[in-house]
């Protein structure tokens, strides 16, 4: 039974990867704290679901990115949480113009161009990704699609410098037991109050005052581990007002859009089909929207579609039926119309309209990469930001969020009079 502190020194708002990282550090440092979470579950954008399809799939994060240096991958090892032990064959599998092609990534036009965007960033230039790619190339929609998946923004809205600052080791491993399930395991022994939305954070003479649906709580310092859009839109009010530089940073590094559509089948309709990750793209169809599918991940009879960028925001607004129809049409094109008869269930994500998330992840606009640094600045020296938007090199990821939570916890603990101690990011209670 987890004990709640009646008189916390630090209050953490949000129980996603960042809030949980903060909680684990505060627990390790022996600081009295509490985590307040608006939803009826922990994890935020880390959410594994077994109920909707009867097979596990992740609504949000699913891959250990930069897995060889990923703190949450190391935690998975400690907890015996399963993931694909080595990267898949580095091939791109694409259904285009009525047939499949399978190419090594090093010879693939799409991957070449994704790398070009990053290289421009490495050279220190901060321009739009759209300026780096050839708009007239027949594969341009596919390059744009992949850029959107990586940055959750359209190519015109992606800063090359921000892209170049992301630390990519190239090792990406999907989490078999669920990324959300892993983050939830890390939350088990933490004092988290669910169903407790925070509406305002105020700076007081000696600390902070937090207004929640359950009343007002005070503490010496606080960590705002909520999606950037919660503060940007004033859904959590900050008194005496957000610093103009932070308001500007929210505008310069906005959250983008990314949704998934999942289908389950009455049997493994992709049996014998080797690539478990495929692109489907028909450049001559009325809609030239490319799709990505994870096909029968870990042998499960499901397909999970990935779509990102502004168009998916519109599709998500139309609702489940339109989203599912869109994905099924693409699957039919590549696998034949019989596949429709095999569908048992469907499920969709709604990160874009989720009142406590309201987007996918944050990406700097062209010319604005420097603004991300603003998220590192404490508010009135008492309120610290944490989250995927805050981490400067593992931004947009769950492990980056987790590490940013640990950093914020150390700073908040110091402010609350607990000295300047560092927490071990791999700490698990004995
Ligand atoms: C479709 C999709 C696919 C992704 N794929 C990957 C991937 O493969 N690998 C990867 O590493 N990352 C991936 N990501 C990104 C990753 O999921 C996020 O970067 C990470 O989970 C964010 O963690 P966080 O703690 O910053 O925010 P969140 O997980 O959003 O947590 C914030 C928490 O704050 C709570 N909250 C909000 N408002 C309030 C309030 N007023 N009061 C109290 N609580 C509040 C929310 O309910 C939420 O639980 C993906 C994201 C999406 C959307």
Give pLDDT tens digits for 275-305. 677 888 766 554 567 888 999 999 999 999 9
Ligand 1 atom closest to the Cα of residue 351 is: 53
Above 90 in pLDDT, residue 162?
yes
Question: What does DSSP say about strands 173-174 and 63-64: parallel, antiparallel, or unpaired?
Answer: antiparallel
3-class DSSP state for residue 13?
strand
C-alpha to C-alpha distance for 403 and 208, rounded to whole angstroms: 23
pTM score, whole prediction? 0.97
CA 194 to ligand 1 centroid distance, Å: 16
**At 252, phi and psi to the nearest 5?**
-75, -30
Q: Decide whether any atom of ligand 1 lies within 6 Å of the 36 Cβ.
A: yes
Mean pLDDT of 224-231: 98
Please give the pLDDT value at position 125.
98
Ligand 1 pocket: which of 11, 60, 74, 230 to mutate (most atoms <8 Å of CB)?
Answer: 60
Query: How far does residue 108's CA lie from ligand 1's centre (Å)?
Result: 31
Pocket lining: 198 vs ligand 1, CB cutoff 6 Å: yes
CATH class of 88-169+258-348: alpha beta
Domain boundaries, the chain: 10-46+179-254+364-415, 88-169+258-348
User: Where does 322-395 show beta strands of DSSP type E?
Assistant: 343-348, 383-385
Supply the DSSP symbol for 149. Answer: H
Kindly state the DSSP code that residue 175 receives in the 8-state scheme: -
Domain 10-46+179-254+364-415 sits in CATH at 3.50.50.60
> CA 52 to CA 330: how far, in whole Å?
22
Q: To test ligand 1's pocket by mutation, which of 151, 261, 398 has the most ligand atoms within 8 angstroms of CB?
A: 398
Q: Give the rounded distance of the alpha carbon of 339 from its chain centre.
A: 30
Task: Tell which atom from ligand 1 comes closest to the C-alpha of 16.
Answer: 31
Q: What is the pLDDT of residues 187-218, one digit of tens each?
A: 999 999 999 999 999 999 999 999 999 999 99
C-alpha 123 – ligand 1 centre gap (Å): 30
Residue ranges of alpha helices (H) inside 280-417 are: 310-318, 320-335, 338-341, 398-415
């Amino acid at each position: 039974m987890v004990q709640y502190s009646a008189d916390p020194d630090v209050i953490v708002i949000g129980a996603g990867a960042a809030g949980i990282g903060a909680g684990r550090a505060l627990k390790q440092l022996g600081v009295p704290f509490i985590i307040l979470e608006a939803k009826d579950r922990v994890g935020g954008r880390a959410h594994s679901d077994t109920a909707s399809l009867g097979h596990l799939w992740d609504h949000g994060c699913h891959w250990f990115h930069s897995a060889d240096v990923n703190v949450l991958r190391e935690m998975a090892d400690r907890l015996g949480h399963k993931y694909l032990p080595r990267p898949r064959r580095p091939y791109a599998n694409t259904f285009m113009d009525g047939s499949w092609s399978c190419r090594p990534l090093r010879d693939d036009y799409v991957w070449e161009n994704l790398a070009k965007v990053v290289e421009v960033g490495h050279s220190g230039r901060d321009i739009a990704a759209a300026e780096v790619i050839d708009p007239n190339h027949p594969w341009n929609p596919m390059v744009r699609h992949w850029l959107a998946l990586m940055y959750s923004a359209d190519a015109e809205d992606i800063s090359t410098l921000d892209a170049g600052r992301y630390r990519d080791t190239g090792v990406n491993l999907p989490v078999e037991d669920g990324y959300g399930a892993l983050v939830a395991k890390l939350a088990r022994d933490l004092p988290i109050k669910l169903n407790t939305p925070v509406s305002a954070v105020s700076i007081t003479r000696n600390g902070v005052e937090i207004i929640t649906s359950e009343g007002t709580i005070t503490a010496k310092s606080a960590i705002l581990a909520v999606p950037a859009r919660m503060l940007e839109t004033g859904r959590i009010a900050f008194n005496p007002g957000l610093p103009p530089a932070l308001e500007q940073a929210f505008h310069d590094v906005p959250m983008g859009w990314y949704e998934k559509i999942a289908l389950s089948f009455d049997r493994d309709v992709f049996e014998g089909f080797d690539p478990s990750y495929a692109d489907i793209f028909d450049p001559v169809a009325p809609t030239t929207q490319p799709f990505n599918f994870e096909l029968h991940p870990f042998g499960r009879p499901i397909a999970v579609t990935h779509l990102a960028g502004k168009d998916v925001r519109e599709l998500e607004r139309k609702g489940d039926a339109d989203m599912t129809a869109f994905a099924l049409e693409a699957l039919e094109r590549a696998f034949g119309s019989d596949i429709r008869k095999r569908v048992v269930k469907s499920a969709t994500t709604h990160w874009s309209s989720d009142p406590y998330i309201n987007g996918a992840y944050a990406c700097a606009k062209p010319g604005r990469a420097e603004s991300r640094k603003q998220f590192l600045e404490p508010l009135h020296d008492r309120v610290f930001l944490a989250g995927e938007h805050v981490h400067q090199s593992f931004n947009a990821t769950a492990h980056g969020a987790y590490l940013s939570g640990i950093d914020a916890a150390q700073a908040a603990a110091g402010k609350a009079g607990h000295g300047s101690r560092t927490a071990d990011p791999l700490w698990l209670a004995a």
